[in-house]
Amino acid sequence: MSGINDMIQELSQDKEFKEAYEQEQTKLDIAVQVMKLREELNMTQREMASLVGKPQSTIARIESGNMNPSIKILNEIAERSGKKLTLSFN
C-alpha cells in the first residue's frame, strides 16, 4: 500500500466499512459546504446560528462533521442565507 487511499480502497471491500466511510464522507462534504457558505457570507458561527434560529453549537457540530443535519435544517440555512438547497445523486 502506498497511502491512505490504497488502504481505504482495500478496506472498502468490506460492506460495513464502505457504508460507514460513505456516511462520514457525506457529513464531511456537508460540513465543508456549510462552512464555505458561512465564510462567503462573512459570518461567524454565532451570527449564522442567529440568522437561522439555531444554537451556535448546531452550526459548530455541522461544520465539524459531528452532526448529520436533516434536510429541513439545511433548507433553513439555505433559505435564510438567500440560497437554494440543491441535492444530487452521483
User: For 51-76, b where at least 16 C-beta lie within 10 A, e where not — what string?
Assistant: bbebeeebbebbbebebebeeebbeb
Q: What is the mean pLDDT of residues 47-76?
A: 96
Q: What is the mean pLDDT of residues 3-24?
A: 84
Per the CB < 8 A criterion, the answer to whether 85 and 75 are in contact is yes
For residue 73, give the CATH number of its domain: 1.10.260.40
Residue 85 lies in a domain: no
Residue 50 lies in a domain: yes
Residue 4 lies in a domain: no
Domain carrying residue 52: 15-80
Q: What is the pTM of this model?
A: 0.83
Residue 42 lies in a domain: yes
Band the pLDDT of 21: cuts 50, 70, 90.
confident
- According to the model, what pLDDT value does residue 10 have? 82
Q: Which three cell numbers stand for residue 62?
A: 455541522
Residue 20 lies in a domain: yes
* Number of structural domains in the chain: 1
Per the CB < 8 A criterion, the answer to whether 54 and 65 are in contact is no
